Amino acid sequence: MPDGTGDEVGVSALAFVQAFIQQNWALSPYLLDQSRLRDLEAKATLSYAASGEMIRYRINTPSGNQQFDDSLKKAITKSKQLPQPLPKQLDLLVTFNLKEMARGK
């Protein structure tokens, strides 16, 4: 996968991985509709081999909401194998939040 910067063609590995996990993310629409919860955010470090296989992950900063954090862990676990290889082994710090999830649905 090309790693685009500036006006090069391609998407970054971070954006690719984040979008892939977001596709696997299922969360109750009731949680999404509650405006006070829309600011929830969690940060995770994801390590992928060049083959696209997840080596490990760690939730660095949980959101503080158990439903949100559990749904994120399930999405990460479902994303153990990327649909295509990466340019090299990568450790990525990814931020997940409800605003982005709502926008992607």
100: domain CATH number?
A: 3.30.1150.10
**Is the separation of the CB atoms in 61 and 10 below 8 Å?**
no
Q: Sign of the CA dihedral 13, 99, 21, 77?
A: positive
3-state DSSP helix/strand/coil % of the chain, to nearest 5: 35, 25, 40
Rounded to the nearest 5°, which phi and psi values hold at 6?
A: 60, -125
Domain count, the chain: 1
**Is residue 84 in some structural domain?**
yes
Tens of pLDDT along 53-93? 999 999 999 998 888 899 899 999 999 999 999 989 999 99
pTM, full prediction = 0.74
Residue 48, strand partner residues: 54, 90
CA distance 20 to 33: 23
Question: Residue 84 is part of which domain span?
Answer: 13-32+40-104
**Is residue 7 in some structural domain?**
no
